[in-house]
Amino acid sequence: MFTIDLTLKNMPFPVQVQRKSQEEADAVYQQVLAAMRSGSSDILELTCDRQKEKKVAIRTNEISGVQVSQKDSTSTGKPPGFFALTE
């Protein structure tokens, strides 16, 4: 299962949708990138493969980042992304 995380402006938590295959996840990633590059305030509608009833509609000018990651059986429970070490 592949997770697509959308980071939105002024929201502390990302919006997530899942896809079963890497090709489908990459297609959603490219769709989000195209929407971000357009600079318009169109609405992007996404559904989730894991939770069929899950639907989300987002204004494209509110998206500040997108990330694709694979969820596997060896997951540590930590979200993917960057981290910082502090002393």
Q: Per-residue pLDDT averaged across 54-62, rounded? A: 90
3 state SS for the chain: CEEEEEEECCCCCCEEEEECCHHHHHHHHHHHHHHHHHCCCCEEEEECCCCCCCEEEEEHHHEEEEEEEECCCCCCCCCCCCCCCCC
pTM of the model: 0.75
Establish if 78 belongs to a structural domain: no
Whether 84 is covered by a domain: the verdict is no
Judged against a pLDDT cut of 60, whether residue 6 lies above it is answered with yes
Domain that holds residue 39: 2-70
Average pLDDT of span 4-22 = 91
Residue 66 belongs to some domain of the structure: yes
